[in-house]
Structure 1
């Protein structure tokens, strides 16, 4: 049965804090094993779960019907930025984009967020189909924090405070973690609960167990997306759940605290927590719908901008690369697309002429890098949007746009010559005059 255990800590005369030198006691929590309890919810919470499930299914159907790369990549990155923000790891979307192409100049926080993107993708790939296993969970954690010792923690952990004696929450002892994770994974693989309820329970139980020394919040939120992907509700992207949670961090913490009931009072405690989780998921789903509208507008605008160029050309591949990397350099294009430095410079000029990128501003204005403001605006919206935030208006093409491909235009018996020339007004080799 779930209970709080009082743990006595003897004085540490070499301790850093007064509390450590004095000693004392603290409470640590032992949650119920999920195999031993039922996830009974109050009627109105069950109704809400059904409504949120319907909204998610509608969003998932939309993502499957039009699986644009711009949707998947930007949704995952904006969710990763927000999930990191909750843990106090904060950077701008542009700084994160810089970290993707140049690890040496990236800030520590931006580098951590890039690893969170990798962990999020890994979570969806590993957990989004088939049965879960311990190695899936530990691998996601290693992607996030590769310098940590692989596996679960070996000592006591807590949340808040400098020591367990003044912590807001102390997790169960380390020697219970493997059994608790056995139980959680078994629940993930065999539960018949609604996927949104299952995702809520897995997240709360994981955060309560706190199986790692660090990174528990980010891994725990990634597990939610694994549940939703495997269920088929949302398998073409993610919903910006962390953004909704970030905008009400106190409510999020209070809801997790409510989940940690004492004794047999599971139903009211679980109902309170799941109700808050569903409210956040509902906001995230609504935000995702607006996000899809804005991202689709960008996709349409960009495709129109390069419509005169062959679809198998390097320019189209460069546009796809910008979707994944909204800050680029000519050197980066050359390396990723396997083209010469001269060709890469030409591609940059074409992307600028199409209104897809522009020279970087602010602290990067003296660097030879270019930024895609449309994608950066999408990332900012996805990682910061509130329940009523309007999506950015990104579908408007530039009023004046340079022609990307110049043709000879000399009159022939078949009409105007369509041979390419490097600059307007020039003639091709067939019509030198």
Structure 2
């Protein structure tokens, strides 16, 4: 009995092709009307879609939600970059460059580029569809001025790359030959708009295919994960970029890579789709909890700020700033509030007494203060 090539259970991932002294993997196109028999996929798909809708509802009811989006983006940027080997912690990612140890500034810059790439891509979605063009633009931003800046920023690769190992001879995985990349990426773009396939199945398959094609010389993991959030926003599944799967992927890093490779070696797309749906379910639920904690913290702080009397107005302005930038110094506060340094110092002292700021350096001068209660919500 012939198998149905458009069923997840019958997926044929592709073939290994002989190149000069190595074999590359040539994936099959993915733009099909996908179906499946496994009832668990339906159950997980329904749950993931509902959880995503609940998370989106939070983003619509949280006052000034854009204030809190920055921390979501910074956490995603740091986590996605850490999967690729950068050593920057989230607290360091939130510091200014001059406050970061010199030996960590390259990694710090890569995280900042990711933040800029995400923010710019979200803005570009207002003018451009999610497409290979937008992904190339985003890649150019990601690679500017960092270690990958000489690896064709914003362009698909023109040479063979590989994953793992020191060369093509001992690589763990060798993506398709560079001549195949344009057609494969064109096919990938088409599935993003294939209305015969449910959204979450579409983006699950598209993410697998992107990482399998590995269309850029560098930055493929980060762009491929960033593409997931861009898809959610571009389709209206999310009104704001509030769900990022890199945290789940990093905590399950070996399983993540194994699931992707298992599709290539065993044609098991079903396993990958379930892994992806589980990532959405768990991450969306965690995102709801994060918003709940933010609302509880905000309500608690509003009560405390009333005790500041005439300074409460500046206190409210400062807390709004801290929700975007939880590490500050006196000069920043003075400049942001347009007040004198002594006035900024007094307000910071008030915040320390209220338990809203902690000094982190132990220095007498050049002190940095930390809004730890807010930061810890994202670190958990």
Q: Does TM, scored on the shorter chain, surpass 0.5? A: yes
| Residues 102 and 152 of structure 1, relative CA distance in 2, 3 Å threshold | farther
Query: Shift of residue 207 of structure 1?
Result: 0.7
- Give the drift of 1:236: 3.0
Give the whole-Å Cα distance in 2 for the aligned partners of 1:136 and 1:87.
Answer: 22
Q: Give the aligned partner of residue 86 of structure 1.
A: 83
2:43 equivalent to 1:39: no
Report whether the alignment pairs 1:316 with 2:311.
no
Structure 2 residue aligned with 1:115: 113
Q: 1:139 aligns with which of 137, 140, 144?
A: 137
Alpha-carbon deviation of 1:258?
Answer: 2.3
> Structure 2 CA distance, aligned partners of 1:314 and 1:358?
18
* Distance across 2 between alignment mates of 1:34 and 1:245: 23
Partners of 2:339 and 2:97 in 1: how far apart?
Answer: 20
SS at match of 1:260: helix
Q: Which residue of 2 aligns with 1:288?
A: 287
1:115–1:301 distance in 2 versus 1, CA, 3 Å: farther
Q: Would you say 1:260 and 2:258 are equivalent positions?
A: no
Let me know the Cα RMSD of the aligned residues: 2.8
CA distance in 1, matches of 2:355, 2:46: 43
SS in 2 for 1:166: coil
Q: CA deviation at 1:344?
A: 3.5
Matching residue within 23, 26, 32 for 1:27:
23
Q: What CA deviation, in whole Å up to 9, does each residue of 1:126-183 have, x standing for no partner?
A: 3488622333112222222213233222211111001011111111122222222222
List alignment gaps of at least 5 residues for structure 1: 10-25, 382-433
CA contact (8 A) 2:329 2:367 kept: yes
In the alignment, structure 1 residue 161 sits paired with structure 2 residue 156: no
Contact 1:239/1:288 (8 A) holds in 2? yes
Residues 158 and 169 in structure 1, CA contact (< 8 A), matched pair in contact too? yes
Aligned counterpart for 1:7 among listed residues 9, 15, 19: 19
Q: Which has the larger radius of gyration?
A: 1
How far apart in 2 are the matches of 1:127 and 1:353? 44
Larger mean CA deviation between 153-162 and 371-380 belongs to: 371-380
- Structure 2: gaps (5+ residues): 1-11
- Give CA-to-partner distance per residue, 1:277-318, whole Å, 9 cap, x none: 111222212222222222222222222222356799443222
Preserved contact between residue 99 and residue 111 of structure 1 (Cα < 8 Å): no
> For structure 1, which segment, 198-207 or 283-292, has the greater mean C-alpha deviation from structure 2 after superposition?
283-292
TM-score normalized by the length of structure 2:
0.84
Q: What residue number does 2:4 align with?
A: none
* Deviations 1:79-116 (CA, angstroms, capped at 9, x unpaired): 22221221122332221111467578563323322222
Distance 1:296 1:156, change over 3 A: same
TM-aligned CA deviation for residue 340 of structure 1:
4.4
TM-score, scaled relative to structure 1:
0.75
The equivalent position to 1:250 in structure 2, one of 244, 250, 254, is 254
Question: Hey, which of these two has a bigger chunk of helix by percent?
Answer: 2
**In the comparison of the two structures, how many residue pairs are matched?**
358
Of 172-181 and 277-286, the range deviating more from structure 2:
172-181
Q: Is the 8 A contact 2:358 2:370 kept in 1?
A: yes
Aligned to 1:430: none
| Aligned-partner SS, 1:6 | strand
Q: State how 1:7-406 maps to structure 2 within 5 Å.
A: 7-9=19-21, 26-35=22-31, 37-43=32-38, 44-67=40-63, 68-69=65-66, 71-99=68-96, 102=99, 107-127=105-125, 131-147=129-145, 148=149, 149-150=152-153, 151-260=155-264, 269-307=268-306, 313-361=313-361, 367-381=366-380
- Alpha carbons of structure 1 residues 309 and 7: separation in structure 2 relative to 1, 3 Å: farther
Question: What is the distance in 2 between the residues matched to 1:342 and 1:65?
Answer: 37
* Counterpart secondary structure, 1:165: coil
Residue 274 of structure 1 deviates from its aligned partner by: 0.5
